[in-house]
Structure formats: C-alpha cells, structure tokens
Amino acid sequence: MIAFNSRLAHFSTPLFASWIAHGVGAVVALTAVLVWARSRPVSVPAPAGGRWPRWIYLGGVPGALTVLLAAITVNGPLGFSGTLALMLAGQMLFGVAADRFGWLGLERRAPTTGGLLGLGLVLTGSLVIIAAAG
C-alpha cells in the first residue's frame, strides 16, 4: 500500500498521491459497504457519557496526513525501510500511551514488562534497519 502510493508520489506529488489514494479508497469502500454491509450492525450502546462524540468521523484527517508524510519520507533519505521503522516506533509509543490512559474510547490497559521490553526491541531493530539504509 505504502509502496504503491509512494510510487505515484514519485511521479507526481505526495499530496496528489494521497488525494488519489483516498478518492479511489472512498469509491472502493462505498462499493464494499453496498455489497457486504447494507444494514448497519446491531446498535452498540454509546460509551460513558451517553452520546457518541462527533470526532469519531474525523479519523480520515490524521489518516490523510499519514499518506502525505509517508510519501515525503519514503522518497527522502530514510527510504522505505527507514520510514516504516520510525512509523512503527511512533505508533507503538502512541499505542502504549493511548492504552495506558484509555484515550479515544479505548479500554484502559496498563503497560506490561513484556510489552515495554518488546517496544525496546522493536525500536532497536528499527534503528538497525535505518542504519542499513544509510
């Protein structure tokens, strides 16, 4: 996915590539919803607070920035592996924090020794790959 989008960015701009990826994705997702998910799932009760917040529809904004940033860095000095490595690190750091504090409607989960050790190994491995990319 990232390779495809970055390839398009290589021949145009990161912005154009991300825009096309989301446009194509919107059409494909609409088709998928019409074919496989015509009816909504059984209604889930809203989380504590009683009402679903408005921001649940805004996941596409950071998502759009993701494609943009990836396209920039993949075609830069980090290359494909280096970009992925740092994206992994950032995601895991965010993940630990989001679980720990129960951000964005996630269930609260305290970080475990194994989880944090794993994070350290992942960061180390990421740095090794970036070093190999030069």
Partner 1 sequence: MLTAVLLALSNGLCIGLSRAVNGHLGRRDGPLRASLWNHVVGFVFLSAPMALQGVGAFHVGPAPWFAWIGGVLGVAFVALNSHVVVRLGASRTAGLVVGAQMLTGVVISNLGAAIDGRTLVRLAGAGLIVAGIWLANTPNAPRRLRRAPAAQAGEPK
Q: Per rule CB under 8 A, is residue 51 in the interface with partner 1?
A: no
Cα dihedral across residues 19, 25, 68, 82: positive or negative: negative
Among the listed residues 19, 75, 119, the one whose alpha carbon sits nearest the alpha carbon of residue 83: 75
* DSSP structural state of residue 50: S
Minimum Å gap between C-beta 53 and partner 1 is 8
Residue window 26-45: x/- pattern of binding to partner 1, with contact defined by CB under 8 A: x-xxx-xx--xx--xx-xx-
What is the residue whose two structure tokens read 């990826």?
21
What is the rounded distance in angstroms from the CA atom of residue 90 to the CA atom of residue 119? Answer: 11
DSSP labels, 112-124: PHHHHHHHHHHHH
Among the listed residues 1, 36, 47, the one whose alpha carbon sits nearest the alpha carbon of residue 21: 1
Q: Name residues contacting partner 1, limited to 77-96 (CB under 8 A).
A: 77-96
Q: Per rule CB under 8 A, is residue 126 in the interface with partner 1?
A: yes
User: Of 48, 49, 50, 56, which one interacts with partner 1 (CB under 8 A)?
Assistant: 56
Minimum Å gap between C-beta 90 and partner 1 is 2
Q: Name residues contacting partner 1, limited to 95-114 (CB under 8 A).
A: 95-96, 98-99, 103-107, 109, 111, 113-114
Minimum Å gap between C-beta 108 and partner 1 is 9
Residue 50 or 124 with smaller CB distance to partner 1: 124
